[in-house]
Amino acid sequence: MRIAVVASPVTPLRPAQLGGAQAFICDLAAGLAVRGHEVTLHCTEGSEVAGVKLVTVPAPLDATAALVMPGGAPPPPAPGVAAALGAMFDAIAAERADVVSQHAFDAPAFDLARGLPVLHTLHLPPIVDAVLAAARQVPASQLATVSRSCLESWRAAGVEVGKVLANGIEDVPVKFSPVRAALIAGRISPEKGIEHAIEAARAVGLEVRIAGAHYDPAYEVDLGGTIQFGSLPREELRQLMGQSAVTICAVRWEEPFGMVAAEAQMAGCPVAAYRRGAMPEVVEE
Domain boundaries, the chain: 2-164, 179-282
Options 1.10.10.10, 3.40.50.300, 3.40.50.2000, 2.40.10.10; which CATH number does 179-282 get? 3.40.50.2000
Nearest-angstrom CA–CA distance, 96 and 116: 10
Is pTM beyond 0.85? Reply is yes
Quote the strand ranges of 149-282, DSSP E.
163-164, 179-185, 207-211, 227-230, 244-249, 271-273
Q: Name the DSSP letter for residue 27.
A: H
Helix (H, G, I), strand (E, B) or coil at 122: strand
> Region 160-173: what's the mean pLDDT?
91
> Taking every pair of C-alpha atoms in the chain, what is the biggest distance, in angstroms?
58
Q: What is the pLDDT of residues 222-252, one digit of tens each?
A: 999 999 999 999 899 999 999 999 999 999 9
Nearest-angstrom CA–CA distance, 125 and 255: 8
Instruction: Give the phi and the psi of residue 257 in degrees, each rounded to 5.
Output: -145, -75
Top CATH class, 2-164: alpha beta
Q: What confidence tier does 175 reach under pLDDT thresholds 50, 70, 90?
A: confident
Do 179-282 and 2-164 have the same topology in CATH?
yes
Q: What is the pLDDT of residue 18?
A: 67
